Chain A
């Protein structure tokens, strides 16, 4: 079960009075690139944190294939997590380590391979992201976009069967954005991973996704292919594709 289908059922989450997710249902198809789009503050990052168990739902289920995440034992959770790579929206790099040490951290921690092999893999990932010179740089000296790319490399380094990216191209220039999109596709090709990308980049969503899910007011308003989105009549979808305020009813 390297690249499972991920199915979320009836997910509810509130922070105080703020109801963020309201009975949300979403299916991330196995081995496909799923884009999750939606307004800022709409709960996309909160959804990813539920998929990785960093937040506990008020109610609802998260299924990886035939296993429910929150009912899994400690061991099982650990194994599930080892097969997941997550890019945090703000990178969440370890600032006590260098850029390169950040990338090899998961390999080092789980003793997944000998040190020289791990370094080789980290270097090649960094090279793909145009960061080959930064291996020994301190995290605090990196620019925002450089941090993001190091964090992407760290999410990819274990070659996980599930990849979650929270805004991988936000803050990157258009050339780098295209490179990162290509890298995501390439990682999917290489490992067959199930991929979810939270993004505000509608053009990328329309061009590289297998499926797009529009999050609106705590629910998935529309799941479909780029084609479905382009021909949709829903005002929220149209507004999203054109960037206009949604029209009143």
Chain B
């Protein structure tokens, strides 16, 4: 079995299908929906409600309570600014100012071309590298404004190239 097909078995539909009334399953199901689609759509909430019998309104209440869940899709590159204590005292504000300036988006926003989203996270566990930014799964530490600008511009170029090549295919 290739790893790709293996991953499919972890998808939201299968998790829903496997649901057999066990207690406390709502949050894992929501996590699975978000893992599969990148966000929690109204449709996903409807499905979960249908299968578990929990009212949509109650599910919605849980979704909005937890910071992890989002009801809108994120951009292709998610820029997470660490706002933990160490990063704060080491200049996280300068980091977010630079991103706002370079990408034209603020916290919790996604750029119009859907290439970038900016989020705030608390301590990502490498305070010795503060200030820290995580782009998708890549961590960048000991940042200065010029260093960060350079990194962001590389991502912009990458996004542009990817867009061009996908348009070329179409």
A binds B: no
Q: Mark B residues whose CB is within 8 Å of A.
A: none
